[in-house]
Amino acid sequence: MSVEAESAPAGGSAATRGSAGAGLRDQVHDAARRARVASRTLGTLTTTVKNRALHAAADAVLAHADAILAANAADLDAARAAGTAEAMLDRLALNPQRIDGIAAGLRQVAGLPDPIGEVLRGRTLPNGLQLRQQRVPLGVVGIVYEGRPNVTVDAFGLTLKSGNAVLLRGSSSAANSNAALVAALRGALAAEGVPEDAVQLLPSADRSSVTHLIQARGLVDVVIPRGGAGLIDAVVRDATVPTIETGVGNCHVYVHSAADIDVAERIILNAKTRRPSVCNAAETLLVDEALADTALPRLVDALSRAGVTVHDNPTEDDLRAEFLSMDIAVATVAGLDAAIEHINTYGTGHTEAIVTTNLEAAQRFTERVDAAAVMVNASTAFTDGEQFGFGAEIGISTQKLHARGPMGLPELTSTKWIVWGDGHTRPA
Amino acid sequence: MSVEAESAPAGGSAATRGSAGAGLRDQVHDAARRARVASRTLGTLTTTVKNRALHAAADAVLAHADAILAANAADLDAARAAGTAEAMLDRLALNPQRIDGIAAGLRQVAGLPDPIGEVLRGRTLPNGLQLRQQRVPLGVVGIVYEGRPNVTVDAFGLTLKSGNAVLLRGSSSAANSNAALVAALRGALAAEGVPEDAVQLLPSADRSSVTHLIQARGLVDVVIPRGGAGLIDAVVRDATVPTIETGVGNCHVYVHSAADIDVAERIILNAKTRRPSVCNAAETLLVDEALADTALPRLVDALSRAGVTVHDNPTEDDLRAEFLSMDIAVATVAGLDAAIEHINTYGTGHTEAIVTTNLEAAQRFTERVDAAAVMVNASTAFTDGEQFGFGAEIGISTQKLHARGPMGLPELTSTKWIVWGDGHTRPA
């Protein structure tokens, strides 16, 4: 079967159409329906076709670098005029080196194993019926994210490789950059005979397009919010489409009474200061009260010398905070079980670490701490799809359903049971 | 560590306390918090302890059979007085034989493999960090269901074996039966030193206890509705807790132009008439238009003779209906792709079947039909956890996230990454 024969109807992206009469809700739902049509074909593409399309998309991003950088310059000008903070401007900014990185990311996804079609389980039943459970795409995936244009291309690459159509709802601050990137991607798909509605950019001028997306039950299979706690909470609270909560990390490092204090110092400094703005950074240091006069002052001193503001008499708010800055809450706890209790109360279920030389304590901690990742004598900074060997990640799930921890390609799939018989009927 | 030392605080179930002052919301949330405390212990119980508790629970159900049957008689009297239909009374009714079946179900779950602790993936990273992904319980599971007291015990057995605490919100019509069953189960747990808050019955007199349960975000990890389409829609629509949609089945049998008509007749009769009230029963027969003058009249005649009311000029409502009765919609379609399109439009993503002798048609159908289970030359009636060899099922998921199709013990679990290092820090 030729791919072309199955292509979705032609037409611009939802972002570029939008007649005066059509409401925003209709516009989002229309995009979702076009995504569904595209997804029926995407789910049947061979790995070879998908990989070729990913390389073509990388080529197109490079070929359109000038237009993309010009669009990005317009976004940056507008953001500067609006008084946007320097850190946000840095996330928004593209340059030739970052464009190269974005294209390289697509080629890297092309090199990853294709999850679709993998047989997870199978058996022949006593009556001869042949059962197999196969990985299939989720279908239509919505991504809601903030002002980082690289996410636009990363999300496209991972969803295409896993056979899904993606609806991108980026930040209005990156609207021009995203439009230029998506135009390049869609052009590459069209040239490869892959439905260009595999990727559509939703309008971002009005906040309510997020609401329409997350309430398009039956049209959208899953929405993944990527961003700060406020964005994620709002999406999860108002969604009727299934969502995957990602990336809010109030991560702890607990220094057990039997810890090697050199190791503790190394780990807390790395977990706090390596990249304070990311979700796997440590936000609270818990020190066993047995070490209150020994390790505690040394660790506080080391953090202070590294430029960290130590909240050593933490309020309830400090203990709940995801600082994402060079701040840390420090508290003492009355032993292992008190540390576990504290973490299960205040943690967000992302990454939790213990520093100890005691095997029983390490085992009890890993068993009883309720989080996506639990580390023994290792920095919380390791919770990351690349570090875990997934090649790439779409986010880090902090929920328990469907996926937990770094999400790679398999986490963007569902399954289907395929059953072969030869006239089998079930006895009463 | 002794199990007793970790038991949750003593006290009656939420259903039996409920002071005049406490609101229903507080009562449900309080139960959920007690379930969370219990779940911390349940997740660490050995398989041996859980299996012993399941057998003790089976013994207790048998030992309390008189009290359970008396409570059930009271429910039946009230239901009869309220003019409840005979089919509903039959679902509600217990008798010594059914009690034996309920106890046997618990022993069967004791015999199933324990999913908890299974290592799903693992590797040693180039830096020596040791990673493994292990199955862990979901935590606190809510089940919302209708007037079938056996579900009370089935749900308890499966959630206990998978290390979860369960909050049961049954029908008010079965309130006495459920209370008697749960009292027996909790007594058995207490005697075995297992936290009795592993199972709690929520108040059912007021509908709003469902709302409080499905909106207890952060207190409850997942809610599984079991029942008709109305119940499931209401739960999924209003929930802020993640839910798993189950068991609404508008299942189709498509008779392809190259079908063996004897096989088609056998399969459609089985799929429609074996148990018309269950979700895997066929609700629509699609016949290829090439067979309009041959197979079609024969299949309609066979269905009619079997007592099925054939809606052979189906309205849009007929095509969308989950009849759950001896009714079927019959329509012709213009070939394989039209059948796939019809099913992807009207189906509920449960089970879809093709009857054909043509390999290419069978492959295209299994690839392109979007459903939890796709059958080739087999009755839709096979979609069932017992038939699939799972030993037992908590329901049949018709959603794509987390679980799809029959859900056994593994589908009641999440995962956790456990990472062992020896002082590992991540380079900048």
Distance from CA of B211 to the nearest CA of A (A): 15
Report the candidate in B220, B111, B114, B101 with the shortest Cα–Cα distance to residue B149: B101
Cβ contact, residue pair B416, A426, below 8 Å:
no
How many residues in total does chain B contain?
Answer: 428
Cβ contact, residue pair B418, A123, below 8 Å:
no
Give the pLDDT confidence score for residue B156 in this predicted structure: 98
pLDDT at B2 over 80: no
CATH level 2 (architecture), domain B22-234+408-417: 3-Layer(aba) Sandwich (3.40)
Cβ contact, residue pair B404, A426, below 8 Å:
no
Chain A positions in Cβ-Cβ contact with residue B404 (cut-off 8 Å): 414-417
Chain A positions in Cβ-Cβ contact with residue B122 (cut-off 8 Å): none
Q: Does A139 touch chain B (CB under 8 A)?
A: yes
The overall average pLDDT reported for chain B is 93
**Residue in A240, A275, A420 closest to B376 by CB:** A420
Give the list of residues 6+ apart from residue B174 with CB closer than 8 angstroms, or none.
Answer: B75, B92, B147, B148, B149, B152
Cβ contact, residue pair B425, A381, below 8 Å:
yes
Q: Are A153 and A55 in contact (CB under 8 A)?
A: no
Looking at 3.60.40.10, 1.10.340.30, 3.40.605.10, 2.60.260.20, the CATH number of the domain A4-245+407-417 comes to 3.40.605.10
pLDDT, mean of residues B149-166: 97
Give the pLDDT confidence score for residue B129 in this predicted structure: 97
Q: Higher model confidence: residue A92 or residue B240?
A: A92
Q: Provide the 3-class DSSP secondary structure of residue B121.
A: strand
Residues 40-99 of A with CB under 8 A from B: 40, 43-44
Cβ contact, residue pair A420, B222, below 8 Å:
no
Cβ contact, residue pair B125, A387, below 8 Å:
yes
pLDDT at B14 over 90: no
Exposure string for A215-245, b = 16+ CB within 10 A, e = fewer = bbeebbbbbbbbbebebbebbbeebbbbbbb
- pLDDT confidence of B240, banded at 50, 70, 90? confident
Cβ contact, residue pair A417, B401, below 8 Å:
no
**Residue in B262, B419, B423 closest to A382 by CB:** B419
ipTM of this complex > 0.95? no
Cβ contact, residue pair A382, B129, below 8 Å:
yes
Q: Do domains B22-234+408-417 and B251-382 have the same CATH topology?
A: no
pLDDT at B234 over 80: yes
Give the pLDDT confidence score for residue A340 in this predicted structure: 98
Residues 329-388 of B with CB under 8 A from A: 344, 362, 366-368, 370-379, 381-383, 387-388
Q: Does B221 touch chain A (CB under 8 A)?
A: yes
Q: What is the DSSP letter of B191?
A: H
**Residue in A43, A379, A399 closest to B425 by CB:** A379
Give the list of residues 6+ apart from residue B193 with CB closer than 8 angstroms, or none.
Answer: B2, B3, B4, B7
Give the pLDDT confidence score for residue B228 in this predicted structure: 82
Distance from CA of A63 to the nearest CA of B (A): 31
Cβ contact, residue pair B425, A129, below 8 Å:
no
Distance from CA of B188 to the nearest CA of A (A): 25
Residue spans per domain, chain A: 4-245+407-417, 251-382
Cβ contact, residue pair A404, B414, below 8 Å:
yes
Cα(B88)–Cα(B68) distance, integer angstroms: 19
Cα(A90)–Cα(A68) distance, integer angstroms: 16
Cβ contact, residue pair B382, A424, below 8 Å:
yes
- pLDDT confidence of B22, banded at 50, 70, 90? low
Chain B positions in Cβ-Cβ contact with residue A404 (cut-off 8 Å): 414-417
pLDDT, mean of residues B123-141: 97
Q: Which amino acid is at A283?
A: E
Q: Are B197 and B40 in contact (CB under 8 A)?
A: no
CA dihedral A224, B235, B405, A403 (to 10 degrees): 30
Chain B positions in Cβ-Cβ contact with residue A386 (cut-off 8 Å): none
Q: Does A211 touch chain B (CB under 8 A)?
A: no
Cβ contact, residue pair A376, B421, below 8 Å:
yes
Give the pLDDT confidence score for residue A236 in this predicted structure: 81
The CATH class that applies to domain B251-382 reads alpha beta
Cα(A316)–Cα(A289) distance, integer angstroms: 19
Cβ contact, residue pair A418, B366, below 8 Å:
yes
Q: What is the DSSP letter of B274?
A: S
Give the pLDDT confidence score for residue A7 in this predicted structure: 33
**In terms of CA atoms, which chain B residue is nearest residue A400?**
B414
Distance from CA of B55 to the nearest CA of A (A): 26
Chain A positions in Cβ-Cβ contact with residue B400 (cut-off 8 Å): 138-139, 221-222, 242, 414
**In terms of CA atoms, which chain A residue is nearest residue B347?**
A218
Give the pLDDT confidence score for residue A22 in this predicted structure: 61
Report the candidate in B263, B159, B146 with the shortest Cα–Cα distance to residue A421: B263
Among the residue ranges A107-111, B199-203, B236-240, the one predicted with the least confidence is B236-240
pLDDT, mean of residues B235-250: 88
**In terms of CA atoms, which chain A residue is nearest residue B276?**
A428
Percent of chain B whose predicted confidence (pLDDT) is above 70 = 95
Q: Does A404 touch chain B (CB under 8 A)?
A: yes
Chain A positions in Cβ-Cβ contact with residue B399 (cut-off 8 Å): 242
Cα(A101)–Cα(A287) distance, integer angstroms: 40
**Which of the residues A416, A420, A422 would you substitute to probe the B interface, choosing the one with the greatest number of B C-beta atoms within 10 Å?**
A416
**In terms of CA atoms, which chain A residue is nearest residue B374?**
A418
pLDDT at B154 over 50: yes
Cβ contact, residue pair A428, B274, below 8 Å:
yes
**pLDDT tens, position by position, for chain A (428 residues)?**
233 333 333 333 444 444 433 699 999 999 999 999 999 999 999 999 999 999 999 999 999 999 999 999 999 999 999 999 998 999 999 999 999 999 999 999 999 999 999 999 999 999 999 999 999 999 999 999 998 999 999 999 999 999 999 999 999 999 999 999 999 999 999 999 999 999 999 999 998 999 999 999 989 999 999 988 888 888 888 888 999 988 789 999 999 999 999 999 999 999 999 999 899 999 999 999 999 999 999 999 999 999 999 999 999 999 999 999 999 999 999 999 999 999 999 999 999 999 999 999 999 999 999 999 999 999 999 999 989 988 888 999 999 999 999 999 999 999 999 999 999 999 98
**In terms of CA atoms, which chain B residue is nearest residue A387?**
B125
**In terms of CA atoms, which chain B residue is nearest residue A374?**
B418
Distance from CA of A103 to the nearest CA of B (A): 23
